[in-house]
Amino acid sequence: MKRQRLIQRYWQQRSLLSDLLYPASLLYERLGQIKQMRQAGKAYLAPFKVIGIGNISSGGSGKTPLTMALAKAAIESGLKTAVSHRGYKSAMEKKAGIVSMGEGCLYDAKTCGDEAWMSATKLRKAYVSVGRDRVEQLKQLAALEAPPELVFMDDVFQNQSFIKDVNIVCFDARVGLGNGRVIPAGYLRESVSAVARADICVINRKDPGIEVEALKAELSEWCEHIFVVDHSFCGFEDFQGNVVDVDVNQPSLLLSALASPQSFEATAQSVNINYLTHYSFPDHYSFRSREALKPLFEQIRGDDIKQIFCSHKDLPKLIAHRDLLPLLRVLMIEANPFQVNALWQAIRRRMAL
């Protein structure tokens, strides 16, 4: 939770530290702008529609769940669909490759990355590709015998190496723009003026009680089309993907490695889960170390823990700890289907699909 405390103390509001780091943030942003200009000068044009989804913040903004929800909508519309991820910290990050032909994941999460694994397991009719080189991914998809009609590219708002038919930027309703400054003085990868590059802004909200009107008003200065998509609890699954009933009053723990552990806690609280401790690790943490999990195992024995709630993203990395399997319960989250459909229809109109 150290990162969350940092965000709350220094990045969510202006501070002396934020002021001191402001000159460094100007340099950080300028270097990013130079990189983008160089990429744009030789941008690749794919032979199919490309939808870019990303953010201007340094933490979780709900872009991956939104990418999956939109890909599902495209599949249900009868379009041959592909999803592209970077595969951050995975074995395949440095070398682009296709990890699913629409019939499940061909690799484990350690090899292809947790987000690609999630897409490949949940989107059974979608191609899924992975790798830092997004242009190479697009070329591999184009070379398939039956190439996709459109590709959803996750986490590419700053990537100008290819042409996007629709450019979407996401925001977390809880954090918004933070203190409005760029790393390291704030939470943003680039200034809010970068939103002008977006065709559509999406505010992802996991707590319906969070007010978003102020954020919408600020974003409307840069982008005309703003959508709010609510993400909420939709059930529990065991480690094998079976829907299960859960007694939320039993002694429980939360275990996660997410960019926004606060949102995970809020979801658990929304369904009255009686958890004693939240073991929160950095985003994309591998969970390979038994030593790092030692306090968790000690509490399982000491407090007679009956269940451990995790996210679908973290599940494949936890399966290696076989003694945890009987306790694991996946807290499933779903984007509001009506809001996603409204967003999807707006995208279709923009692409004339």
Specify the CATH class of 38-228+336-351 in words.
Answer: alpha beta
The yes-or-no verdict on residue 353 having pLDDT over 80 is no
Question: What are residue 207's phi and psi, to 5 degrees?
Answer: -120, 110
Same-fold call for 38-228+336-351 versus 233-334:
yes
Provide the pLDDT for residue 52: 98
Mean pLDDT of the chain: 93
Q: What residue type is assigned to position 13 of the chain?
A: Q
Provide the pLDDT for residue 8: 61
In the chain, % of residues over pLDDT 70: 97
Listed in sequence order, the residues at least 6 apart from 287 whose beta carbon sits closer than 8 Å to its beta carbon are: 257, 281, 293, 314, 317, 318, 320, 321
CATH number of 233-334: 3.40.50
Mean pLDDT of 20-45: 95
Domain boundaries, the chain: 38-228+336-351, 233-334
CA distance 217 to 224: 10
**pLDDT tens per residue, range 202-215:** 999 988 889 999 99
Residue 234, token pair as written in the block: 């939709």
The alpha-helical segments, DSSP class H, found in 165-272 are: 213-219, 261-270
Residue 9, token pair as written in the block: 């103390």
Residue 350, token pair as written in the block: 């923009």
**pLDDT tens per residue, range 233-247:** 999 999 998 999 999
The yes-or-no verdict on residue 4 having pLDDT over 80 is no
Give the closest residue to 51 by CA, choosing from 353, 335, 333, 337.
353
Give the closest residue to 202 by CA, choosing from 225, 186, 222.
225
Quote the DSSP letter at residue 9: I
Residue 169, token pair as written in the block: 């930027």
**DSSP string of 72-124, one letter each residue:** HHHHHTT--EEEEE--TTSTTTTS-EEEEESSS-SS-HHHH-HHHHHHHHH-T
